[in-house]
Amino acid sequence: MSKSFKTFLKHTAKDFHNQSVNPPVVRASTIIFKSMHDIRKTQKKAQKNPIGGHYDYGRQGTSTTYILQKILTKLEESYHVFTTPTGFGAVFLAIFSVTRPGDEIIVADPVYSPTRLLTEKFLKEFDIKTIFYNPRDLETLRKNITKKTKLIFVENPGSNTFDFQDLGKILSIAKKNKIFTAIDNTWGTPYFLKPIKLGFDMSIVSATKYYSGHSDVMGGSLAVSKRVFQKVYNAERITGLRLGPDDAYLITRGLRTLDVRLDRHRENAKKVATFLSKNKKFKLLYPFKKNSENFRMWKKYYSGASGLMGLKIKSKNINSVRKFVNSLNLFGYGYSWGGFESLALHQEFRETGSRKYLDLAKDEHLVRLHIGLEDPNDLIADIRQAIRHLK
């Protein structure tokens, strides 16, 4: 990418044919041709260049989805990017592409709970075994590798507990044993971390979050290396997991301001984190404390931090924790994150999944905060008034 990240996002995908700064939304089930000769010609082009945007049926995409794929491929610095109807669709496509019955996969213990359900429960029915490793002790990963191990699946940082891992060591272990690698990079996005460039085979981002930025679209992206491209390409065509043109348009539009929004999320989160770190009622789960292993691992690989963070709250009275969360006036209550608005969520144990290495002591509670684009001083004041409920 010759231009800087910021400049590229503002100047890419202009439509000079229609004299529009944004590409049009092209909706199509049937891709129409002038003749059968043109159909065969397009099909030959697609066989020769499967990432060239040569489609003969709407399930394969349109110019609208193709433009988004090309933008994301440049942002990720990857061989190609596949787009899916949801972020979790990208998780499924990544795993489905490279695993078969009899295989084993090793997964980070603090993964997104639906990912855990998919790997631990659903894949078991297809004779695919899942082993979970401790993100703070990579020996639990190394010692569980067998000849059947096909994939190492990382989520960084860990969902809810925000464990930052030594990604280089994980890649070294995988390379030595010739194992495929995938990472859920939704928290960092390629703005702060480029996993394919680092050495991962697959990088997942929930486009529902920061890519869109406005809490009104669902989507996912799966960036891939050349090594796994054909496997993912074949799986995507079989499953039909492809993003629709309307969502692709909204995500493309959201990407124009990705850098501006993430910079603001980062600045706001840092101010809120500074406030939270000074209160003894909270243990902040965010790369803030400079002498911590989490900070070192974040600093080693990331160029910045997004707006999602966690809090450990020690309290024998769970109702006071609930009151604290419910007393927040500027934080919405709901799932997902990455939009312009701040969100708060008290994490029940069922939402963290049946983790083997969950570092949560008795009477400790998890609260997740997404720091949005509001005035951070207002957010801090809101948290301060809600603290009175904690006992």
What is the pTM assigned to this prediction?
Answer: 0.94
How much is the pLDDT for 13?
76
Instruction: Write down the domain spans for the chain.
Output: 5-255, 258-389
Nearest-CA neighbor of 163 among 285, 63, 342? Answer: 285
pLDDT given at position 14: 75
Looking at the structure, give the CATH architecture of the domain made up of residues 5-255.
3-Layer(aba) Sandwich (3.40)
Q: Report the b/e string of 204-228 with b at 16+ CB within 10 A.
A: bbbbbbbbbbebebbbbbbbbbeeb
Q: Please state the rounded mean pLDDT for residues 16-38.
A: 86
Q: What is the pLDDT of residue 305?
A: 97
Would you say residue 350 has pLDDT above 70? no
| CA 50 to chain CA mean position, Å | 25
270 CB-near residues (< 8 Å, 6+ apart): 288, 305
Q: What is the pLDDT of residue 33?
A: 92
Q: Is the pLDDT of residue 351 over 80?
A: no
Q: Tell whether the model's pLDDT for residue 17 goes beyond 70.
A: no
CA distances from 365 to 90, 160, 283, 319, 352 (A): 30, 11, 10, 11, 11
d(CA 388, CA 391): 8
- Report pLDDT for 205: 98
Query: How large is the average pLDDT for residues 178-188?
Result: 98
What number is the average pLDDT over the span 301-319? 94
Amino acid 357: pLDDT: 82
Q: Give the dihedral of Cα atoms 195, 197, 203, 208; nearest 10 deg.
A: 80
Measured from the Cβ of residue 237, the count of other Cβ atoms closer than 10 Å reads 13
Name which of 54-68, 178-192, 300-314, 339-353 the model is least confident about: 339-353
CATH class of 258-389: alpha beta
pLDDT tens, residue by residue, 327-338:
999 999 988 999
The rounded Cα 259 to chain-centroid distance in angstroms is 16
Would you say the CATH fold of 258-389 matches that of 5-255? no
220 DSSP β-pair partners: 84, 206
Residue type present at position 56: D
Q: Across the strands, what pairs with 333?
A: 344
Pick from 287, 285, 313: nearest CA to 300: 287
Could you report the per-residue pLDDT of 227-249, keeping only the tens digit for each?
Answer: 999 999 999 999 999 999 999 99
Q: 170: burial class by Cβ within 10 Å (0-12, 13-18, 19+)?
A: buried
Q: What is the mean pLDDT of residues 9-24?
A: 78
Q: Give the β-pairing of 220-224 and 202-206.
A: antiparallel
Backbone φ/ψ region at 25: left (φ over 0), alpha (ψ -120 to 50), beta:
beta
The per-residue pLDDT for range 138-162, each reduced to its tens digit, is 999 999 999 999 999 999 999 989 9
Average pLDDT over every residue of 342-362:
79
> For residues 337 and 330, what is the distance between their CA atoms, to the nearest angstrom?
14
